[in-house]
Amino acid sequence: MKKLVLITLFAVFFSSQFQLSAEAQSFEIIGGNILNGALTGSILGTATMGLNNSSDFTPLRIGLGIGILAGSGIAIYDVATLPQGQEFFISGMFNDGTNSSIIILLDTVYGAAVGAAIGSAVVLIGNKSFLKGIQYGTSAGAWAGFGFGLVDAFTLAERNRDFLSDHLLNRSSIAEFEFFDTEIKLIQPDIVSYLDLSGPTLNQRIEPALNLISFRRTF
């Protein structure tokens, strides 16, 4: 009876710890996406001010608000598509991260940097205002980087489910364990070929089989 109580308490403790960990991860994904969305929206609002050559802060205010809403939407998407029991991870063209919005944010920043470089080069060649070249180049580059970031985050990037499916497709069994020189495979499909001597003639039969466990050791 005591053993049963201890086992039950251990199971409850373990499940509660797992639940707290899952909830903490969800809060981290939500908070990170909202913050990144706010930063991205602020950058795009500032870029709009730069393209319009205006000191009116309305685009910045609108960009911040839309960024928060967009970050919240991306957070819901990330949490909904996260495989159960997995840590969220995304790998984009140029960056890796623990939420989708970080890919968009960093691509926007990279676009602004590239735009600033191109803008400064153009004005130097044309002998124009250097500050204007930086202003328009950075602003246009930020929007271009944002557009690429959307494609990168939701089309080009690999997520947990991509890594998981690729890992499963490259395995010959449901579960594999390797340690030192030993390999253990669980539930492995196979094809068995054998000679059938039950009839008047000798026949070779091929049938599907399922190995519950296989063990291999190399020396």
What does the pLDDT look like over 75-112, one tens digit per residue? 998 888 776 656 778 888 888 888 899 999 999 999 99
The answer to whether the beta carbons of residues 100 and 154 sit under 8 Å apart is yes
Residue 14 confidence (pLDDT): 37
Residue 116 confidence (pLDDT): 93
Buried/exposed 178-198: b ≥16 CB within 10 Å, e otherwise: eeeeeeebeebeeeeeeeeee
Residue 21 confidence (pLDDT): 46
Rounded average pLDDT over 167-171: 48
86-90, 107-111, 117-121, 171-175: the lowest-pLDDT one = 171-175
What does the pLDDT look like over 193-211, one tens digit per residue? 666 667 677 676 776 766 6
C-alpha to C-alpha distance for 78 and 93, rounded to whole angstroms: 18
Supply 74's token pair. Answer: 């991306």
Using CB atoms within 10 Å of the CB of residue 79, give its burial: 0 to 12 exposed, 13 to 18 middle, 19+ buried. middle
The answer, as to whether pTM is greater than 0.85, is no
CA atoms in the 13 A half-sphere facing the CB of 200: 0
